[in-house]
Structure 1
């Protein structure tokens, strides 16, 4: 008969968790969030602050997708197949928001 155990663990035994990656991700996201809160508290409201928040939110989103959805470990063509449509959707939203306000100026 063949041995059906995989790895070095006994059947039914749970392998030890690799929590180092999870803690590193936690600390990186915590640091980015702390910077966001600090900027929100000390910076005056305006376009620069909003731009910084959008950029930092996108950084956190890409990091979360890369780590927790394992996109970081995929082939580059799959990553580009996901990122390029997102870029066009963001461009569309920006275009709609900027051009949508001009309807009130024409009246």
Structure 2
């Protein structure tokens, strides 16, 4: 007859199995659900306008940074890599704000010119 042994104790000698990350996964899930619920609450309770749009943009950027940090593991990288991603992102956001404000000014000046 063949002898069967329990190999579960052998795993500890070779290397431990990683513990499940269920707490971290649930924490990430709860944080993302909370931010999304806050966005829905603001969408259905506030009147449309600049303040509501600014809150949406801030919450969306916050959620994007959290997703990049968690799922793309950016929070575990060196500070230099993190800054090399954040600084160009901040410049792109600044560029978008500048282009939107300039585009609004141009649109208003053209429509007022032809009145």
Structure 1 Cα separation of the partners of residues 77 and 14 of structure 2: 24
Residue 65 (structure 1) aligns with: 68
* Match of residue 47, structure 1, among 33, 50, 66: 50
Q: Aligned ranges for residues 1-107 of structure 1 at < 5 Å?
A: 7-9=15-17, 17-104=20-107, 105-106=109-110, 107=113
Q: TM-score, normalised by structure 2?
A: 0.77
Q: Which has the larger radius of gyration?
A: 2
Runs of 5+ unmatched residues, structure 1: 10-14
- What is the number of residues matched between the two proteins? 98
Runs of 5+ unmatched residues, structure 2: 1-12
Structure 1 Cα separation of the partners of residues 55 and 72 of structure 2: 25
Question: Cα RMSD (Å) of the superposition?
Answer: 1.7
Q: TM-score, normalised by structure 1?
A: 0.83
- Which protein is richer in helix relative to its size? 2
Runs of 4+ in structure 1 deviating by more than 6 angstroms, as ranges, are none
Structure 2 Cα separation of the partners of residues 62 and 54 of structure 1: 12
User: What CA deviation, in whole Å up to 9, does each residue of 1:2-23 have, x standing for no partner?
Assistant: xxx95135xxxxx553221111
